[in-house]
Amino acid sequence: MTVTASHDIRVEHSRKRVRIFLAGELVADTTAPLLVWEVPYYPTYYIPAGDVVAKLVPAGSASDSRLGEAELFTVQVPSGAAADRAARKYPASQARQLHDAVRFDWDAMGEWLEEDEPVYTHARDPHTRVDILASSRHVRVEIDGVTVADSRSPRILFETGLPPRYYLPLSDVRTDMLRPSSTASHCPYKGTAAYWSVNTGKGVHEDLVWIYRTPLPESQKIAGLAAFFDEKVDVFIDGVAQRKPQTKWS
């Protein structure tokens, strides 16, 4: 794997086979994708133009302050299904590796595969590690001065670049305060999370608690456990109040 950077644009070569589908039909198939960090949190796949099998119909242009002028394309597959303006190229980018590469809008495509396994939300970051460790730390969570969780058997999830997350058995959570939410989120390392809001009797706090009921195989240790946004609640570890972390969820 090689790493290059041009004007703060980070690009890496991946050796994974990546396939993209739209309406069940192949859009691209490559064993030489590029990983490009357009945002700090995770990379985006760029596909060599020669490995794109779908038809790319010119659909205008757009500018990007870091990557330069983009050529936009509508993606068409033989069945007639299309994704409007869902692909782009940067043929004059200061990052020369991108000149002959195509970026597909993740959500506009039907499915992404890394090797033969589906991947969700965004490309996996090869520098991100997820460790889930059983612990005997005493974790207590307060909201509005009310204790809503109290556990001495958390599982602590350590994920690169994020604060530790404390996953607690539901038996240690005041489930009578939880209110189901229609919100869901997706993580390429953990799977799909469902959410609860919390009614403390002093106020309702939306989407404050999440659970992975059927996490991906590598994250099975947190199956059925509840976690709180530590950015928005008061957390005490072994009796010591914790400073609220500053993240994009703060």
Count of H-run helices and E-run strands, the chain:
0, 23
The Cα 15–Cα 172 span in angstroms is: 44
pLDDT computed for residue 151 by the predictor: 98
pLDDT computed for residue 2 by the predictor: 44
Where a domain ends, among 60, 84, 118?
A: 118
**How many structural domains compose the chain?**
2
Does 196 lie in the same domain as 97?
no
The Cα 178–Cα 200 span in angstroms is: 9
Where a domain ends, among 118, 144, 172?
A: 118
Does 106 lie in the same domain as 157?
no
For residue 98 the two structure tokens come to 């991108």
pLDDT computed for residue 7 by the predictor: 52
pLDDT computed for residue 1 by the predictor: 42
Does 135 lie in the same domain as 91?
no
Q: Bridge partners of 1?
A: none
pLDDT digit string (tens) for 76-113?
999 999 999 999 999 998 888 999 999 999 999 999 99
Does 113 lie in the same domain as 173?
no
pTM for this model (two decimals): 0.82
Q: Is residue 62 situated within a structural domain?
A: yes
pLDDT computed for residue 65 by the predictor: 75
pLDDT computed for residue 64 by the predictor: 81
Does 142 lie in the same domain as 88?
no
pLDDT computed for residue 72 by the predictor: 97
pLDDT computed for residue 67 by the predictor: 87
Mean pLDDT of the chain: 94
Does 90 lie in the same domain as 68?
yes
pLDDT computed for residue 9 by the predictor: 82
- For the chain, residues with pLDDT lower than 70 are 1-8
Question: Containing domain of residue 211, as a range?
Answer: 130-241
Does 95 lie in the same domain as 55?
yes
The Cα 73–Cα 55 span in angstroms is: 9
Longest dimension (CA), the chain: 62
Does 84 lie in the same domain as 15?
yes
User: Do residues 9 and 87 touch, judged by C-beta distance below 8 A?
Assistant: no
| Residue 214 belongs to domain with CATH number | 2.170.150.40
Which residue from 203, 222, 199 is spatially nearest to 148, judged by alpha carbons?
Answer: 199
Where a domain ends, among 118, 143, 166?
A: 118
Does 167 lie in the same domain as 137?
yes
